[in-house]
Amino acid sequence: MSFLSNYIKEVYGAVSSLLIGMKRTGYYLTHNKEVITEEYPEFRAKMADRFRGEVVMTHDAQNEHACTGCSACELACPNGTIKILNKFDITPEGKKKKAIDSFVYHLELCTMCNLCIVACPTDAIKMSQNFEHSVYDRRLLTKQLNFPGSKLREGVE
């Protein structure tokens, strides 16, 4: 007799556990106001301020940047993502002055670890919030971060 009652108890417990789960599923079926997914191409989420998308160099309205070419970011990078090619400008006094010729950034090697941004002494580079990096040719991922014709901002050492 106890076997039978145990059996019925077990079946009752099993069915009720399934029904409780189905009740929860039914609740979400009928209460679909809590939509948490976002349709991507039409709706683009605003990324957080600190989100690490890619490294960019900040330029002001006069097309001037703050990069002195000290190579601190190049040394800090674990992957060899950054290559800085320096040149020497001749100042009006006839002295040689170091300046960057091109700041080459390999996006395809970058792991967005933020170490270059932390290492930069003049805050010349920062992380942008752009996350859509797909291109058809991998060569397009190698970028020059300083704009053409840009120069070092006055007073930045």
Max Cα–Cα distance, the chain, nearest Å: 109
- Shortest Å distance, C-beta 85 to other proteins: 22
Smaller CB distance to other proteins: residue 106 or 151?
Answer: 106
Cα Rg, the chain, nearest whole Å: 29
**Cα(119)–Cα(122) distance, integer angstroms:** 9
Smaller CB distance to other proteins: residue 85 or 118?
Answer: 118
**Cα(67)–Cα(123) distance, integer angstroms:** 8
* 6 makes contact with other proteins (CB under 8 A): no
Which range in 43-51, 56-64, 85-93, 100-108 contacts other proteins by CB under 8 A?
43-51
> Between β-strands 54-57 and 125-128, what pairing exists: parallel, antiparallel or unpaired?
antiparallel
Taking the CB of residue 99, how many other CB atoms lie within 10 A of it? 14
Which range in 47-55, 92-100, 136-144, 148-156 contacts other proteins by CB under 8 A?
47-55
| CB-CB contact of 33 with 95 (8 Å) | no
- Shortest Å distance, C-beta 130 to other proteins: 14
Residue among 127, 143, 151, 156 that touches other proteins (CB under 8 A) = 127
* 35 makes contact with other proteins (CB under 8 A): no
Q: Which of residues 71-90 bind other proteins (CB under 8 A)?
A: 76-78
**Cα(18)–Cα(12) distance, integer angstroms:** 10
* 4 makes contact with other proteins (CB under 8 A): no
Smaller CB distance to other proteins: residue 20 or 90?
Answer: 20
